[in-house]
A and B are shown apart, each in its own frame.
Chain A
């Protein structure tokens, strides 16, 4: 069974970087696409980007040059880094297997606050 699990700090200070890990079991990240999605307080959802089976990436332009998605195939993990965070980046962050998002992690709530 495919399982994804996010991990990372729940509190980040403004202007610092947010770094999250998605650990995948039951399926190799060298197949398919692997994405990050976030849900803001309220209901708004945002697609952030993905990393492909080959390591290529695609990002939401709204995140401009702040976002980076990388991977470690030896550990079957992929990562999100979001730089220069503000309070507007406070959200629950999900990783998911992409194509369509058929498998999701449980989500990690990240608060940006001093």
Chain B
């Protein structure tokens, strides 16, 4: 199975700071069709996960432009500029390129 290694495990930030989360894959996530099926999800406390980013860098409908996904191959990053209170929770990367699809272990974003 593809292993997604997320770092850091937890991230303490001050509101208004930038936060950066890394997701490294044990295999390239570029599919034979040329697309890279790497997604980012946020699970806020008491809520279901919500989609933030798909195909590495595409923001889902309604996601603020302070969320920026980037990367290629095996290295991916989610950056959150100007962290706001509603951004707190656990972030997951997820790959749908290889079977079985797999999640990273999660990164908890919390206030300093």
Contacts and interface: CB of A to CB of B under 8 A. Distances in A.
B106 A45 contact: yes
A62 B100 contact: yes
A58 to B, nearest CB: 7
B103 A102 contact: no
B29 interface: no
Given A43-B105, A43-B106, A45-B92, A60 B51 contact: no
Contacts of B54: 100
A78 interface: no
Given A43-B105, A44-B105, A101 B49 contact: yes
Contacts of B103: 44-47
Interface residues of A, number: 19
Contacts of B41: 101
Contacts of B26: none
Nearest to B108: A43
A54 to B, nearest CB: 18
A94 to B, nearest CB: 6
B18 interface: no
Nearest to B60: A102
A102 B39 CA distance: 11
B48 interface: yes
Contacts of B48: 94, 104-107
A101 B51 contact: yes
Interface string A8-39: 00000000000000000000000000000101
16 contacts: A44-B103, A44-B106, A45-B49, A45-B92, A45-B103, A45-B106, A47-B94, A47-B101, A60-B101, A61-B100, A62-B1, A94-B48, A100-B96, A101-B39, A101-B41, A107-B48
The 4 A-B residue pairs whose C-beta atoms are closest, nearest first, are A43-B106, A104-B48, A45-B103, A100-B54
Interface of B: 1, 37, 39, 41, 43, 48-51, 54-55, 60, 90, 92, 94, 96, 99-103, 105-106, 108
Interface of A: 37, 39, 43-47, 58, 60-62, 94, 100-102, 104-107
